[in-house]
Amino acid sequence: MSVCMRKRSSLLAAAMLCVVAGESLAGGVVGVNQAGYARLAPKVAILSQHADSVFVLAAQTRTVVLRVATGVAGLGDPATGIDLYSADCSSLVQPGTYYLKTSGGDSSAAFTVSDSVYLPVFRAALKGFYYQRCGMSLSPLHAGDWWHLACHTTTDAAFHATAESTGTIASVGGWHDAGDYGKYIVNAGISVGTLLLAYEYFPGRFQADNLLIPESGNGIPDILDEARYELKWMQTMQAASGGVFFKITKPQFESFVMPQNDSGQRYIYRLSSTATGDFAAVMARAARVYHSYDSLFASSCLSAAQRAWAYLLAHPAIVPAGGFTNPAGTATGEYGDGNDGDERLWAAAELYLASGDSGAHQYFLTSYQSPGIITGTMTWADVRALAQCAYLRGSRSGINTTAQDRIRQSLLSYCTSLSRLRDESGFRAAIRTTDYNWGSNSQILNNALLLILGRTEGGPEGFAQAALDQLHYVLGVNIHGISFVTGTGAFATRFPHHRPSGSDGIVAPVPGLLAGGPNRNVSQDPVLAARIPAGTPPARCYVDDQGSYASNEIAINWNAPLVAVAGYFAAEQSLTAAPMQRPDALPYAIRLWQNYPNPFNGSTIISFTLSQTMDLELRIVDLLGRPITTSPLGVLPPGRHQTRWDTGRLGLSSGYYVCSLASGGRRVSDVRSLLLIR
């Protein structure tokens, strides 16, 4: 995270507030998701100024296609300090590009109605990690206008004088952490962990292998290729003791230059138990996720996780004492954290699930309820929610189902509280007014991810809509009327605190990067302090200015939940025609796991777990809900079971199919998407 910089020229930013569909956004805000909406999804715009009605116009012809009356979204909205109004345009289902105009003369940005609107958002957000790659050239073929030569190939890295080792090692690769060129294990941990979570829990939604990165087309989903690039760098940061070094940076933040022009020695800083815990957790999860693609790499990840866990056991107190702090003469990102209990808990959960380590399992069961279960979302400083959700979703002989039930109930309770926050917010943001801090957009999206998980664990359909509302917020339904994702929407963040975007000579910023968003702590950077008066309502504390690192920087841990949430809903749109909706109260007696392998050719194994005796049948349908096969499974006792689905004689074409379990003529499980490739 940068804390110093040079201000970038605004390039007449005020003039770009902007002309969209021929109209100015300079008056009241008409907040819409600038990426768009699925045809059958709710479409609710939020207005900052009252109007009797709102007109929907076709962008190409400027003709009115729909008129809707307005309602009240929130009087005295605490996050913005103003009255807000709503316009429900959900009856607009015809594919096309539109914009809104109120009876008071205010206009929205353009938006699209289509069942593929979130696919470009997902692809751009995931491609954003490629643009953050360090140690390799980004070619014009893959990076387009934002190509550059290789960087930091000879400077990564020498051990800092305070580190436990001396000399130099080759630690090339990985991702630049944020708007600066540093590389930090703690932030890498939650970022890679979130990407792997998305794939492990929803593999059918993250199979894309055509992102146009160098590894595309190799038969491995690009989300895993991209995460692997960071994992391989992380492995270079492990010491012989098993502990993991904290970061690689220069002593001071670099100026605004292209990465290949950033000269000077970079240093590896001392061992850290927070970094080691995050490292152990991510490596253990990677061992599970990559096993079917590259067993040797998966084994190296598991071995690294086990060595890191051994280091943590040998050092039960936080390392260094009190947590990592920058030594004298260093002012780069500190990621200060004086409590490593959450990192240890996450490492224990993931290592148990990857290897069956009984000691790690006991550590988790002893610690998971203190100081509570799921009481907040995941952040780089607190990864307890990742630990809890890993165990909840885990499947291993001997797993404690009582603990899983407690975590499930805690998750559902937390998601219920998020839904209430969403309902109380004029712009439907599921955070408290006190949560508009540095990187608030990532908290909003991490809450969305928990809402998605809550939905899949038996929560009501409203959880999914609440999660989608958070995506709407970052893509334009906010008091600024801005899409916080560079390159997405006509009125998107244009001047992020991001060194390549500020020094490449290209007007448009590097695309697919999420700005941090409103930060009520306006004293944290001079631009915010100068532009935002003290006492301004928190959601308004944002400036699209390169100088505002406290509200407009980008970071890999902010992009990760954007990838997860956008990818989830991008795939959801293609599945809406099938009977995918989960009932509000499915029994917890059954868990249907993702099939393996997936994708598959010919046959695949479908596994499920029962906590009571049940008479079941397996149902397979296509994406239109048409029955493919129904197979009686009979009366089965409690425990884990599996069945093979063989497509050899069915004459099916390649594509997605949907499986579920039924009993007594009623579906009693979640659904899983199966990808058949001929």
Three-state helix/strand/coil letters over 506-574: CCCCCCCCEECCCCCCHHHCHHHHHHCCCCCCHHHCCCCCCCCHHHHEEEHHHHHHHHHHHHHHHHHHH
Q: Quick check: is 176 catalytic?
A: no
- Concerning whether 497 is annotated as a catalytic residue, the answer is yes
Which residue carries 């025609």 as its tokens? 577
Q: Is residue 423 part of a domain?
A: no
55 to 22, 52, 65, 89: CA distances (angstroms): 15, 10, 8, 9
Q: Which among 359, 378, 399 is the end of a domain? A: 399
pLDDT of amino acid 626 = 80
Please check whether residue 184 is in contact with residue 246, taking contact to mean a CB–CB distance below 8 angstroms.
yes
Residues of the chain with pLDDT under 70: 1-26, 573-589, 623-624
CA distance 511 to 493: 10
**Sign of torsion over alpha carbons 6, 12, 15, 19:** negative
- Whether residue 367 is contained in a domain is answered as yes
The residue segments making up the domain with residue 613 are 590-676
**Number of domains observed in the structure of the chain:** 2
- The predicted pLDDT at position 573 comes to 63
Phi, psi of 566 (to 5 degrees): -65, -40
Alpha carbons 369 and 374: distance in angstroms, whole number = 9
| Residue 334 appears among annotated catalytic residues | no
Question: Which residue, 633, 586, 568, 578, is CA-closest to 607?
Answer: 633
Q: Dihedral (C-alpha) 309, 315, 316, 319: value to the nearest 10 degrees?
A: -100
Q: How far is CA 531 from CA 7, 9, 527, 543, 545, in A?
A: 14, 16, 6, 8, 10
> Does residue 306 form part of some domain?
yes
> Would you say 72 and 125 are in contact if contact means Cβ atoms under 8 Å apart?
no
Q: Which of 238, 235, 226 is nearest to 125 (CA)?
A: 226
Is 175 within a domain? yes
Q: Which of 77, 553, 572, 670 is catalytic?
A: 553
Asked if the structure places residue 418 within a domain, the reply is no
Residue 405 lies in a domain: no
Identity at 31, one-letter amino acid code: G
Q: Which of 176, 361, 472, 497 is catalytic?
A: 497
Tell me what pLDDT residue 593 has.
81
Q: Is residue 524 part of a domain?
A: no
Is residue 616 within 8 A of residue 633, CB to CB? The reply is yes
Residue 131 lies in a domain: yes
Q: What is the Rg, in whole angstroms, of the alpha carbon atoms belonging to the chain? A: 25
> Please, where are the H alpha helices in 435-491?
440-456, 461-474
Q: Which of 180, 262, 350, 469 is catalytic?
A: 180
- This prediction has a pTM of 0.83
**Which pLDDT score is estimated for 657?**
83
pLDDT of residue 589: 58
CA-to-CA distance for 662 and 631, rounded, in angstroms? 10
Outline where DSSP puts E strands in 480-522. Answer: none
Find the catalytic residue in 23, 343, 544, 572. 544
Of 348, 379, 399, which residue is a domain's last?
399
Q: Which of 226, 122, 129 has its CA nearest to residue 569? A: 122
**Predicted confidence (pLDDT) per residue in 369-403, tens digit:** 998 999 999 999 999 999 999 999 999 999 999 99
- In the listed set 365, 381, 399, which residue is the last one of a domain according to the structure? 399
Cis peptide before 537 (omega within 30 of 0): no
Q: Taking the CA of residue 479 as centre, how many other CA atoms within 13 Å lie in the half-sphere pointing to its CB?
A: 22
Helix axes 341-355, 295-314, angle to 10 degrees: 140
Instruction: Tell me the residue length of the chain.
Output: 678
Handedness of CA 15, 16, 22, 25 (dihedral sign): negative
The 10s digit of each residue's pLDDT in 23-58 is 334 479 999 999 999 999 999 999 999 999 999 999
Strand, helix or coil at 91? coil
What is the full DSSP assignment across 165-192?
A: S-SB-----SB--BSSS-EEHHHHHHHH
544 is catalytic: yes
Output the domain CATH number for residue 190.
1.50.10.10
- Report helix, strand or coil for 82: coil
The token pair at 302 is 């598991």
Longest dimension (CA), the chain: 70
